[in-house]
Amino acid sequence: MAVKDGHLIDLETAKELVSLLENNEQQKADALFTSIAEPLKNELFAEVGKLTRQLHESINNFQLDSQTTSLLQVELPNAKESLNYVIQITEEAANKTMDLVDEVQPLATDLKTKIDGLEPLWRKLMSREIDIEQFKHLCKELDLHISQVQKNVGRSCDLLSEIVLAQGFQDLSGQVLRRTIDLVHEVQDNLVGMLKIFGQISPEIDTGIEVEAVKKSQASTTKAEGPIVNKEGRTDVVQSQDEVDDLLSSLGF
C-alpha cells in the first residue's frame, strides 16, 4: 500500500484499520498494519546495519592499527632510552669540556706570568736604557721561555681542539631530540584519532589547537548486560571480528 505525501499512514488507511478491528477481522488488520510498518522496519534495519558496519570498522581500525601498537610497544620505550642517552652524552661532554678548560687555564696563566716577568727588561731594551748585563739576562730568559711557550701554546691548541670536538654531541643529541619530538607529535595525532573514532571530539578539531576540555559522556540509563559468558559454547554469538565482518557482508552492509 502506497504512503501518501511522505506520511507513514493517511486518514483513509487509518479508518480502514479501525474498521477491520471493529469487525473483528484481526488477520486482515495485522496484514494492513504490517504493510504500513514495513517501510519503517526496512529503513530502521538499514540504519542499524550502517551503524553496525561503521562501529565494526572503527573497532578493527583501533585493534589492528599496527602503527599504534608499534608506538606503544617499541617507539615510546626507544624514545625513553634515547632521551636518557642524550642526557648521558650531554653530561659527559660537559664534564670533558670542564676538565679540558681546567687543563688549559694553567698553561695560559703560566704564559702570562712569563710575559709579565720579561716586560720590564723588554721596555728598557726598547727605550735603550738597558745595560749589557741586563741585555744578556733578557736574551737568556727569552731563549728559555721561547721553547716553553712553544710547548704550552702547542698543548693549548690541542686542548682547544678537543674542546671543539667535545661539542660534537650537539649534532647527535639534536637528531635524537628531533626524532623524539616527531614521535610525540605522532602519538598526539594517534590519540586524537582515537578520540575521533569514539566520538569524544569532532574531526574538525585540529591537533595543533589546544582542547580545553572534553565533555563527559552522559551515563546510560540502560542496564548493561555485561560480558558474554562461555561464548565458545554458544551459537547465538559471533566469536571474532572476522565473523562480524562476514555477518555484515551477508546482510548487505
Task: Name which of 222, 197, 193 is nearest 207 in CA terms.
Answer: 193
Residue matched to cell numbers 687543563: 103
Report pLDDT digits (tens) over 56-86.
Answer: 676 666 554 556 566 666 666 777 787 888 8
Report pLDDT digits (tens) over 187-201.
Answer: 777 766 666 655 544
Q: 3, 9 in Cβ contact below 8 A?
A: yes
Q: What is residue 74's predicted lDDT score, i.e. its pLDDT?
A: 66
CB crowding 216-239: b at 16 or more within 10 Å, else e: eeeeeeeeeeeeeeeeeeeeeeee
Q: Is the dihedral of CA 140, 144, 149, 150 positive or negative?
A: positive
Report pLDDT digits (tens) over 25-61.
Answer: 888 888 888 887 777 777 777 777 777 777 667 666 6
Task: Name which of 238, 98, 222, 236 is nearest 159 in CA terms.
Answer: 98
Which grid coordinates are listed for 146?
A: 721561547
